[in-house]
Chains A and B, each alone.
Chain A
Amino acid sequence: MSDSSFVRTEMLKSEAPPTMEGSVLGWIRNNLFSGPWNSLLTIVFGLLIVYVLAEMLPWVFLSSWTATSLRECREIIPLTYGEGTTGACWAVIRERYLQLFYGFYPRELYWRVNLTFVLMLVALAPILFPNLPRQLLYFSGVYPFLGYWLLWGGTIWTPTLTLAGLIVGYLLFNFLSEKRGLLIGVIVGTLLIIFWFLFGVIPITVFLSENVTPLAIEIVESEQFGGFTLSVIIGATGIAASLPIGILLALGRKSDLLIVKSLCVGFIEFIRGVPLITLLFVASTLLNYFLPPGTNFDIILRVVIMVTLFASAYMAEVIRGGLAALPKGQYEAGDALGLDYWKSMRLIVLPQALKISIPGIVSTFIGLFKDTTLVSIIGLLDPIGLSKAIRSDTAWNGIVWELYAFVAAVFFIFCFAMSRYSIYLEKKLETGHR
């Protein structure tokens, strides 16, 4: 009986895969020519791509980098590449790329912009990659003040005192909310910070700079900001501020407290109901009517505030989507564990809700960053505004595509990086629930 069964005792050698699998040819056949319909589509689109490239590549490469004006470009290119060639005049980028990156920032101070940018990456690193040392987060907290000081210059006391006021206010809030309850803590902490800003920061700054040491670096006026520097300032500030504000708004909208809820709903619906460009017009023109004449309320600050408010409203709705997607059991689990509202949000609800919302959040970020180009309409010289200014130079009068192509390429690098990061984050946080 036992002899009738057969068990193989040695392993079979692995066979080579069929020739059509794994080879390039096989891939092409499986993916591009797997049937008559697919083959037809492949051929049509292949021809289309070849046609577009055949039109575009000569324009891109049969170009001039050395000319000093469009007129010269138009003379050089046919001379170099033969009669009738119309190539790109990249010389305008060679002459103006610094301006497109830094705007009118003083040339000898470019290092400050560069340093701010590098430090921004350092400050972002611990937020983006959790396996870095946690102490770096302190630097991320200090960075906004440091970055502001580096970019605009002036005395270091103003940002330092501002930061100090915030820290003291926070400590007071912590202390009071343990002793006297949350409400008292919030009220006293906020009042202290407001009082400090209104009456503390400037006099003490004046006192310290005149009697101790100014510790000042050269001031750069807001009018001198432009180009990608301006886009990154507006975009990065808007992105960094809109996420926390958006989370609060989303929680407020789901709150049971009537006043909080109606305030949040009102804010979100109002801001989402108007186009960004109207808000920018409010920032650039309407505010001037409300404020007393002669008030100098920095235009970049105004724009950053408006862009942040705008992005926050969208962010709130994206995050609310994440909150709504969580099963009710998760909220109840938090309550069942005896956690208070903030703890259950922080430890249980938000980590899951935010994870669900990552694609939406990053979309909003990318959209916000690209929307910064709208500021060119109110006269700020961001890359789009600058390309208009450059075109109005008599030497480059008539150039269009080269500048837009360059601006688009740089924007693509930023946006593509953000998009890649979001995919990385999604993969990392994937816990395999579905």
Chain B
Amino acid sequence: MKIRFLVAAIAAVFVTGSAYSATLDDVMARGNLECGVSTGLVGFASPDAEGEWEGFDVDYCRALAAAIFGDSQAVEFTPVSTKNRFTALAAGEFDILARNTTWTFSRDTDLKQTFLGVNFYDGQGFMVRADLGVSSASELDGASVCIQTGTTTELNLADFFRVNGMSYEPVPIEDNAEAKEQFFAQACDAYTTDRSGLASTRAAAENPDDYVVLPEVISKEPLGPLVRHGDDQWADIGRWVLNALIIAEEKGLTSANVREMASAPTNDPEINRLLGTEGAYADMVGLPNDWAVHMIEQVGNYGEIFDRHIGVDTPIGLTRGVNDLWTNGGLIYAPPYR
């Protein structure tokens, strides 16, 4: 079997026209999903001691695998860095990228990618030592700020200080781990990055109460999974897997009760449509009829995934905030499943 693939792959090198074949068919033929994730981001993607990947972004890929194969383990993870993630996706090294990537205009259009939605609303914030007595970012005039180079956060920081007529002294750093060391060693007064990153940094401190995250959010960082242009059916599948996770939370479907809810039609027609007990909606996108049942049973709904990896009960301890359902005053909202 493997050798046939090899031959097919080599044939594909010469027949470039086959590049835009249906991704779903490729995935089905291969027998597993290939998913690009971060090389390591606390709470979002990291390997455990057994080499199993886990995290908020990882679970999105597991949900997608469960939807396609009924098996959340049928997924292979390819770690990619911020530098090669887009080219690797464009080159087809994996089927989908779930690597806390900010949805921006140019990435969507110029880089020819399709963002499937937002699974986490992040935003850039500031963290300072509590003993500085600073309570707002507008008091940071003249401060030294640890900042990751080559990211949008660097530009946001410059914009923020210019707009507010303040000056700052940048302390350039390469990655989040270095930032922790520098910030905890008091090499800078403030550290700025996405608020989820600030939370995990604070959680790593010897004594987290020594540090405070300031209330200001100076940028919009809607993070979400994305696929390359050219296969709308595949994008639809990815988009509706995300939507289904959100609808499941909204409708109270959890990994514990979904099997029971799917055993017979309920009073709620949207639940019935989602779980395949009414109508044949899954056919429209090419998924098995009970895809959502497998997915929610094995991975859980959006809220369960959130709580498991980054919620208040984890060491990272993020509150839902804007990432709460729209019914609870947040921004997490899915179109109706009908």
State the A residues within 8 Å of B (CB).
Answer: 70-71, 74, 95-96, 98-99, 103-104, 107, 154-155, 202-203, 205-206, 209, 219, 221, 223, 281, 284-286, 288-289, 291-296, 299, 376-379, 381, 385, 388-394, 397-398, 400
Give min CB distance, A388 to chain B, whole Å: 5
A214: nearest residue on chain B (CB-CB)? B3
Q: Given A202, A296, A381, A398, which contacts B79 in the complex, CB threshold below 8 Å?
A: A381
Contacts of A104 in B (CB 8 A): 47, 51
Verify if B4 is at the interface (C-beta below 8 Å from A): yes
Q: With A202-B6, A292-B16 given, is the CB distance from A377 to B40 under 8 Å?
A: no
Measured CB to CB, the nearest residue on chain A to B181 is A400
- Name the segment of B82-90, B236-244, B271-279 touching the other chain: B82-90
What are the residues of chain B within 8 A of A286 when measuring CB–CB? 87
Residue of A with least CB distance to B21: A294
Q: A288 near B206 (CB under 8 angstroms)?
A: no
Say yes or no: B78 contacts A377, CB within 8 Å. no
CB <8 Å contact, A389 and B40? yes
Given known A-B contacts A288-B91, A294-B18, A385-B79, A394 and B43 have beta carbons under 8 A apart: yes
**Contact in complex: A391, B40 (CB < 8 Å):** yes
Beta-carbon nearest neighbor of B91 in chain A: A288
15 A–B contacts, CB within 8 A, in A order: A95-B49, A99-B51, A103-B51, A202-B10, A206-B7, A288-B87, A293-B90, A379-B81, A385-B39, A392-B41, A392-B46, A393-B42, A394-B46, A397-B204, A398-B204
Q: Which of B68-88 contact A (CB under 8 A)?
A: 76-81, 83-85, 87-88
**Which chain B positions have C-beta within 8 A of A294?**
12, 16, 18-19, 92
Which residues of the partner chain B approach A398 to less than 8 Å between Cβ atoms? Answer: 180, 203-205
CB of B314 within 8 Å of the partner chain: yes
Question: Please, which residue of chain A has its CB at the minimum distance from the CB of B12?
Answer: A294
Taking A202-B3, A390-B40, A391-B42 as known contacts, 17 extra A-B pairs with beta carbons closer than 8 A to each other, sorted by chain A number, are A99-B51, A202-B10, A205-B3, A206-B7, A219-B2, A221-B76, A284-B87, A289-B87, A293-B16, A293-B91, A378-B83, A379-B78, A379-B83, A379-B88, A388-B39, A389-B79, A394-B316
Give a binary string over B1-26; 1 marks a CB under 8 Å from any A CB, 0 the rest: 01110110110110010111000000
A residues near B268, Cβ cutoff 8 Å = none
> What DSSP secondary structure best describes chain A's contact surface?
helix
Q: Which residues of B contact A292 (CB under 8 A)?
A: 12-13, 16, 19
Contact of B45 with A by CB under 8 A? yes
Indicate the member of B6, B85, B93, B206 with the most A CB atoms within 10 Å.
Answer: B93
Asked if B153 is at the interface of the complex by the 8 Å CB criterion, the answer is no
- B40, B42, B87, B200: most-surrounded residue (chain A CB, <10 A): B40
Report how far A397 CA is from B310 CA in the complex, Å: 13
Q: Are B203 and A397 in contact (CB under 8 A)?
A: yes
Q: Would you call B330 an interface residue if the criterion is a C-beta within 8 Å of the partner chain's C-beta atoms?
A: no
Main secondary structure of the interface of B (DSSP, over half): mixed
A96-B49, A385-B39 in contact; A285/B3 too (CB < 8 A)?
A: no
Asked whether A392 and B13 contact (CB < 8 A) given A96-B49, A205-B3, the answer is no
Residues of A within 8 A of B203 (CB): 394, 397-398
| Interface check B110, CB cutoff 8 A | no
User: Is the Cβ of B180 less than 8 Å from the Cβ of A392?
Assistant: no
Q: A99-B47, A223-B76 are in contact. Are A293 and B180 (CB under 8 A)?
A: no
Closest to A74 in B: B206
Counting from the closest, the 4 A-B pairs by CB-CB distance are A398-B204, A288-B91, A392-B40, A389-B40
Which residues of B, 165-190, contact A by the 8 Å Cβ criterion? 175, 177, 180-181
The distance from the CB of A104 to the nearest CB of chain B, in whole angstroms, is: 4
> A206-B3, A294-B18, A394-B316 known; A223 and B77 CB under 8 Å?
yes
CB distance from A97 to the nearest CB of B (A): 10
Closest B residue by C-beta to A202? B7
Distance of B103 from chain A, by nearest CB (Å): 21
A285 close to B87 (CB less than 8 A) = yes
What residues on A are CB-neighbors of B175 within 8 Å?
A: 388
Q: Chain B nearest CB: distance from A391 CB in Å?
A: 6
Known: A293-B16, A398-B204, A398-B205. A284 touches B39 (CB 8 A): no
Measured in the bound complex, the distance between the Cα atoms of B111 and A285 in whole Å is 14
Query: Are A393 and B204 within 8 A (Cβ)?
Result: no
Greatest chain A CB density within 10 A among B19, B43, B84, B88 is at B84
- How far apart are the CA atoms of A19 and B136 in the complex, in Å? 75
CA distance A391 to B78 in the complex (A): 18
> Which chain A positions have C-beta within 8 A of B42?
391-394, 397
Asked if B204 and A378 make an inter-chain contact with CB atoms under 8 angstroms apart, the answer reads no
Q: A294-B92, A397-B200 are in contact. Are A389 and B83 (CB under 8 A)?
A: no
Chain B 183-212 per-residue mask, 1 if CB under 8 angstroms from chain A, else 0? 000000000000000001001111000000
Query: Would you call B12 and A209 a contact (CB within 8 A)?
Result: no
The reply on B139 being an interface residue by CB < 8 A is no
Contact with A along B23-40 (1 / 0, CB 8 A): 000000000000000111
Given contacts A155-B3, A209-B3, contact A393 B46 (CB under 8 A): yes
Does residue B260 face the partner (Cβ distance < 8 Å to A)? no
Any A CB within 8 A of the CB of B48: yes
- In whole angstroms, how far apart are the Cα atoms of A295 and B18 in the complex? 11
* B3 and A400 within 8 A (CB): no
Report how far A296 CA is from B26 CA in the complex, Å. 13
User: Do the beta carbons of A285 and B84 come within 8 Å of each other?
Assistant: yes
Task: Check: B315 CB closer than 8 A to any chain A CB.
Answer: yes
B4 close to A394 (CB less than 8 A): no
Q: Is the beta-carbon distance between B181 and A206 smaller than 8 angstroms?
A: no
Pick from B2, B18, B90 the residue with the most CB of A within 10 Å: B2
